[in-house]
Structure 1
């Protein structure tokens, strides 16, 4: 049974395994991985995990039997980044997709958003990411529009809490 947990240093090798499955780059939304983060060494990984705990964002990893299946982030506020990327972002490693994990995790993070007193969330996905669009819609997302971004066109949805 999967669970949502705060990022944990003990899962370093499991996280590296998930990261390798995605391939090179920083594209795993929901993990908060930045271009300056060095996650290969134990010390670098520990520093990154500590940074995630201090951020104005709630990060959770989707874990099953100490295997990292994905990540999800609940971003607070209305910064330029939130207006571009949305309040919520998620990613599921390729081998764990089509199990409903993203919908399950998003439902739990929407509960966290309610606890924080948020009333509505912006969710954004690439226009060609049909799986993410369906996940957002299953979780109550109402399509607003498609906007051009630096990374291509993106679908924008609002979720009323």
Structure 2
């Protein structure tokens, strides 16, 4: 059964396969302003090397610590990977606090499911499973956003109890309670 875990080198091969799938659908380009795209740009050329991938895993875990270095404007984030039987299915970030940009655009929780694993309920399960983690970080409720034209993500958020607040530019903004999860 899939579960959220800290990033691990045990899924190296399937992680690389997932990145290949994301690249094939156009992720990681200049217009992709996500953490996944940033990681693909900064680390992607080195991920094939097991030692470099292990360093990436350590850096990703360390990003949850306040004192860890990160790009200007980025906040600490706990990154969890959704895996089953040593197969990487997706990734999820829980940001530790909101900035003005995250309040309008990114929210507290962001997630990505590899293309070959979509439409199987993984995104809903990932988001739902992340709510207790967010609660432990002091978030209740959490802001989750999606593009206005991303019907699948909107349905995921709503299935997890998301209450629509408003639309800001191209982003729909929802709040999900974490208490009682």
| Superposition deviation, residue 25 in structure 1 | 3.4
Contact 1:29 1:91 in 2 (8 A): no
Aligned in 2, Cα 1:17/1:101: closer, same or farther, shift over 3 Å?
A: same
RMSD: 2.1
Distance in 2 of aligned mates of 1:8 and 1:44: 13
Output the TM-score relative to the length of structure 1: 0.86
Q: Output one character per residue of 1:51-81: Cα deviation in whole Å (capped at 9) or x when no partner.
A: 1111121111111111111111111112245
Q: Corresponding residue for 2:73?
A: none
Distance in 1 of aligned mates of 2:166 and 2:5: 33
Structure whose residues are more often strand by fraction: 1
| Superposition deviation, residue 17 in structure 1 | 0.6
Structure 1: 5+ residue runs without aligned partners?
none
Structure 2: 5+ residue runs without aligned partners?
64-75
Distance in 1 of aligned mates of 2:34 and 2:153: 11
Please tell me whether residue 42 in structure 1 is matched to residue 63 in structure 2. Answer: no
Deviating runs (4+, > 4 A) in structure 1?
Answer: 27-33
Q: Output one character per residue of 1:102-159: Cα deviation in whole Å (capped at 9) or x when no partner.
A: 11111111011122232111111111111110000111111122222xxxx1111111
Aligned residues: 157
Output the TM-score relative to the length of structure 2: 0.77
